Chain A
């Protein structure tokens, strides 16, 4: 088969409708010269297309005036698209920005802390001594100091049986 190894079955309808580009059309034509099966396929495709085109479906015609009247009513009653400020995203973004602005405005500045606020003083002190964290292992065992009183008095604890 010249110019085409496989049967160009799917090209037969476009060939019958004269839609193929020149090079593809030439390849299909060369194949058709040598292939009886594809010539039969082309004849079938032409027969089907011509039969359908010669006897189109007869759709029942609607009353066009009524059709357009219904369409106008549908256009008039269509749901209108919301304005930009009515859409969910702008509302969410606006609300978020407003909340962020409010929090920023109302947050207490560090210098405004009243002198008597002990919690803030402690936090400030601890914050200044963060180097303690270098010795975190020691710090984490400070609760052992709670037992120091008992350890100191071990030598005065009477031993049973004495």
Chain B
């Protein structure tokens, strides 16, 4: 986020947080809470998980603000923390689902994950809203890296280079993620 004229930058606020300036922390939270929650929700699709993970990301910022060296933008550093937490949370949740669910339940979960988008009833005109619901459902079924790349690109308007910095991978790798995601989503959009 580029600061308005006279507004203190995210990086400067982070430096103040490192010095345990509570007001600076509150200011950073206010600036990022909406985006943090929305991004976490887009990756997890669960309101409680999104709240928990985004709050945890702010807590990590509070605890490790001194380690932010300013080599990347604060937003990139923050997104990296948040995305790592969200992907880790999703991995653990899926693992836990596998552990606690009986075979039948597990099959149900897998079926929900795998099933193609709902087919419209014949003769019904599929509204644009329904189409987009199906496309976003398809986004949710992408691999974690592809999904994250798409959400960061489309929703957070990050460039390929910025996404690479968040995901800690190379720019060509992000290009491959986006290309494969587009190929998969194109089919849903055309269906």
Contacts and interface: CB of A to CB of B under 8 A. Distances in A.
A52 B133 CA distance: 10
A51 B26 contact: no
Contacts of A48: 135, 182, 185-186, 189
A74 B55 contact: yes
Most buried by A among B56, B131, B150, B178: B178
A38 to B, nearest CB: 12
Q: Is the interface of B mostly helix, strand, loop or mixed?
A: helix
B55 A57 contact: no
Contacts of B56: 74
Interface residues of B, number: 43
Interface in A1-42: 9-14, 17, 19
B37 A13 contact: no
Contacts of A74: 55-56, 59
Contacts of B139: 52
Interface string A30-65: 000000000000001101110111011101101010
Given A44-B186, A49-B153, A75-B62, 11 more contacts: A10-B178, A17-B160, A19-B161, A51-B189, A52-B132, A52-B139, A56-B154, A59-B37, A70-B55, A71-B55, A74-B56
User: Which are the 5 A-B pairs with shortest beta-carbon distances?
Assistant: A59-B41, A55-B132, A10-B175, A52-B154, A13-B178
